[in-house]
Amino acid sequence: MSLIIRYFSHRENKVVTTFYRLLEIEAGDHLTMVTAFQSALEKDGLKIDKLLGIGIDGANVMTGKYNSFSSKLKELIPHLVIVKCVCHSLHLAAEKSLLELPSHIDFLIKECTSWFSKSTDRQVKYRKLFEAM
């Protein structure tokens, strides 16, 4: 489990974002992750109740309403702000929107990049066609 920390540095007089720690966990369940997270903070003398927010991906084990990493942390820290990964959320939205399009459109969109990326000649012809349109 990769942890990045963001905090206000009085020495630098600014908000600092930095790699904090990489935790090796034996299982991907919520209890293992919460325990490893708490242990890492305690080991470094950081108080978990000072945690204001966490940014996590949208996996159910991380964000589920019951028995997830975030729900267990929320029990410990009621004021905790949980931010789901924007990139993951946008990907899911785009994926769902493709289900509404005919399958040949989905194929065309996926293949366009590889078709044009491998040929300068195709790129030039496409640019001329686009300008003409």
Residue of 25, 91, 31 lying closest to 61 (CA atoms)? 31
Other beta carbons less than 10 A from residue 89's beta carbon: 12
User: Quick check: 112 and 73 in contact, CB under 8 A?
Assistant: no
- 61: part of which helix (H) or strand (E)? helix 60-63
pLDDT per position in the chain (133 positions), as tens?
Answer: 888 888 899 999 999 999 999 999 888 889 999 999 999 999 999 998 888 888 888 788 888 888 899 999 999 999 988 888 777 777 778 788 777 877 788 788 778 878 778 788 888 888 898 898 8
Instruction: List the one residue out of 12, 10, 84, 22 whose CA is nearest residue 53.
Output: 84
